[in-house]
Amino acid sequence: MSSTSSYYTLYIITLIFLITIKASFGTKFTLINRCDYTIWPGILSNAGGSGFDTTGFELSPHATRSFQTQQGWSGRFWARTGCSFDPTTGQGHCATGDCGSNQIECNGAGATPPATLAEFTIGSGDAQDFYDVSLVDGYNLPMIVEPVSGSGACGLTGCLTDLNRMCPNELRAGDGQACKSACEAFGSDEYCCSGAFGSPAACRPSTYSEMFKNACPRSYSYAYDDASSTFTCSGADYKITFCPSLTSQKSSQDPPSAAAAGTAAGSDSQPPEDDFLSWLPNFVSEGSSNSALDYSLIICAASTIFVSFSFFQL
């Protein structure tokens, strides 16, 4: 009985050890392009944080690319669209989300609004991760963030709706390839939550931010939209999917619909809401299978070490 108990204790210790090793590798971000066109993701690490081996790159349709970061990293990801870079000099620019570096690499520069942003603060030790998808700087394409293998609430967030197709004329940018925030379009303190409006009590949702929120209820729509837009998870990896449901397969060149214009003007018309519930089952099952695979491999490795040790003890 004593021998059996010792073997069981060894197995548990080995399993905990391997799980700890997995956590020590840090957080993996996987960027997935489900658009039917090429995008050029940009990455901005916050000051003082160790970054990735790139700050901008090309991602072909249906391609993926993964990055590993250490605990404590914070920063943002976004997609640049409509880019053109000279094959000889490497210089060029993008129609939306351009970082102003005149190169594929953003080199520490952020996205020029409007651009859909995925923002992360990865916890250190036992601290939680915080993440969100933000439309505060406007919108250029649909994006979803999916935690994988984490614990806690770990909710999906993002925006599936093609806001370019319902963007009011006064917010349209890049010939309909992006949609500005009201702050970017008008620059007033009321829309930018600055000056006399620089507090949650003073800065309230505008008709424009409410249009964003109705269409994408899990995304940040204005500066103080924290309560329904910030998500937490512990020990997770993350998938960032651009054009997750192919709702934005091309830039919208059509004028905004009457319903969209009416919403911005304060009418009773409402834009279609992000259809999270209908799309959720496939997305969750995909994430769950990856989570199960990660921990199945850990259990398999622990079992192999345990059996090997037991064999040599015979």
pLDDT, tens digit, 9 for 90 and up, residues 197-235: 999 999 999 999 999 999 999 999 999 998 889 999 999
Tell whether pTM > 0.95: no
How high does pLDDT run on average in the chain? 80
Residues making up the chain, counted from first to last = 314
Q: What is the pLDDT of residue 52?
A: 85
Residue 309 has pLDDT above 70, yes or no: no
Q: What is the pLDDT of residue 50?
A: 56
Question: Structural domain boundaries of the chain?
Answer: 27-285
* CA gap 179, 111 in Å, rounded: 14
Q: Which residues lie below 8 Å from residue 79, measured CB to CB, with a gap of 6+?
A: 33, 39, 40, 41, 42, 59, 97, 115, 116, 140, 141, 143, 242
Which pLDDT band holds residue 283 (cuts at 50, 70, 90)? very low
CB 118 within 8 A of CB 77: yes
Topology classification of domain 27-285: Thaumatin (2.60.110)
Instruction: Specify the higher pLDDT residue, 143 or 260.
Output: 143
Q: Which span out of 1-5, 119-123, 125-129 was modeled with the highest average pLDDT?
A: 119-123
Averaged over 90-107, what is the pLDDT?
A: 95
Inter-CA distances, 53 with 43, 100, 110, 122, 135, Å: 10, 19, 16, 18, 27
Least confident of 10-14, 80-84, 149-153, 267-271: 267-271
Q: What is the pLDDT of residue 10?
A: 52
Averaged over 10-16, what is the pLDDT?
A: 49
Q: What is the pLDDT of residue 254?
A: 41
Averaged over 51-74, what is the pLDDT?
A: 93
**CA angle (291, 55, 224) in 5-degree steps:** 70
* CA gap 251, 31 in Å, rounded: 21
CB 134 within 8 A of CB 117: yes
The candidate with the shortest Cα–Cα distance to 33, out of 161, 139, 141, 117, is 141
Write the pLDDT tens digit of every residue in 129-151.
Answer: 999 999 999 999 999 999 998 99
